[in-house]
Amino acid sequence: MTSSPTPAAATDAPASAALLERATRVIPGGVNSPVRAFRAVGGTPRFIAEASGPWLTDADGRRYVDLLCSWGPMILGHAHPDVLEAVRTAAAKGFSFGTPSENEVLLAEEIVSRIEPLEQVRLVSSGTEATMSAVRLARGATGRAVIVKFAGCYHGHVDALLAAAGSGVATLALPDSAGVPAEMTADTVVLPYNDVAALEATFAARGGEIAAVITEAAAGNMGVVPPAPGFTEALRRITREHGALLISDEVMTGFRCSKAGWYGLEGPYAGGAPDLFTFGKVMGGGFPAAAFGGSAELMSHLAPLGPVYQAGTLSGNPVATAAGLATLKGCTDDLYPRLEATAHTIADAASTALSAEGVAHTVQWAGSMFSVFFRDSAVTNYDEARDQDTTAYGRFFHSMLESGVHLPPSAFEAWFVSGAHDDEAVGQVVEALPAAARAAADGG
């Protein structure tokens, strides 16, 4: 199917356009993360000036219902009072110490308390750093080099893992990245997602070389593609049979799908828990914070206890950990049903509107995370995710944007809601959908 961007929609965003022009002089492409550039949908990216609850306000003063939620972290909504107070209190005591502090202990305790098999975590500053460190730990603990990943699963811009990735890479139609030497990916094996037979064949041929399999717990970076029934169990069984580790990347799903992330929905597994988990996004509450963790025995391979080196000047930053702790404290048992109810209201309305216009589509879920794929059958892997009408999505996106709803600017992304999405915000989304469906159906 076609994948070219749509032309820029007629819009009134002069302040954003001016900021983009300035930005392109000093920032490559005018953005600091590629998907923000709107290259997949065309038009001018909105420069956001402020956000509150479920709302974004751009530099031109236009307000949008936010279905990005900063790509997941803003699970309670923007500038939530409890998080804001925690940040103010922490910042008043100092921004960064370069020493241990109680806040990082409190956040680590909260994370460990939520996932039963997790015993220890190491705090870092980004999801990329978390997955990079987990891979290094797996290699150090096993004495092996080969890493297996799945096409369409994105684990940050780590050289060894930036192969056949989804999300921003799919958006830019770059299956790999320039600047990554061949030797950096020589020990990376990329397999089709949800394909147990391919995994078994790979381990049969190279099982003694494989340090770990890394997978998104439920894929969200090629759009939401959950693991097929039994897939995670198969990953656990096969890795254990061959002495390899299983790394579950919950940077996106962690504490978003449930209090215990995707593991809380699908686990525990008959074959045992993953050996390592990685976290980010929600656990930082909008600040740069991430983590990786596993059993105390496995984590003891890390310096200063063991030979696997990992460090970070801002790891466990007192302000970021305060924001993360306040956010997780707000992720109570009653929050998750509300998120799912809100998400289903929006997704059901989108499906109804698209069906009324005869637009092929399918909706897929991971907890309250969902994606609307512009194709008429389920998506189980990256090739199927790419086989959708992204041009129709671009028309749909711009119609929603003009109606005051900010969707992900790529068909290869998840939609997110927050606990702050109230009747007014949801009503604005639902009201905008019929016109957007007509725009998607219009191939002209």
Q: Which residues have a catalytic role annotated?
A: 154, 249, 281
C-alpha to C-alpha distance for 220 and 153, rounded to whole angstroms: 8
Q: Of all helices (H) and strands (E), which one includes residue 51?
A: strand 48-52
C-alpha to C-alpha distance for 254 and 263, rounded to whole angstroms: 8
Q: Of all helices (H) and strands (E), which one includes residue 87?
A: helix 81-92
C-alpha to C-alpha distance for 422 and 54, rounded to whole angstroms: 8
For residues 4-15, one letter each, b for 16 or more C-beta atoms within 10 angstroms of the residue's C-beta and e for the rest, the string is eebeebebebeb
C-alpha to C-alpha distance for 56 and 58, rounded to whole angstroms: 6
Locus of tokens 């940040």: 87
- Beta-bridge partner residues of 434: none
Secondary structure of 353-382 in HEC code, one letter for each residue: HHHHCCCCCEEEEECCEEEEECCCCCCCCH
Strand pairing class (63-66; 405-406): parallel
Count H helices, E strands: the chain?
15, 13
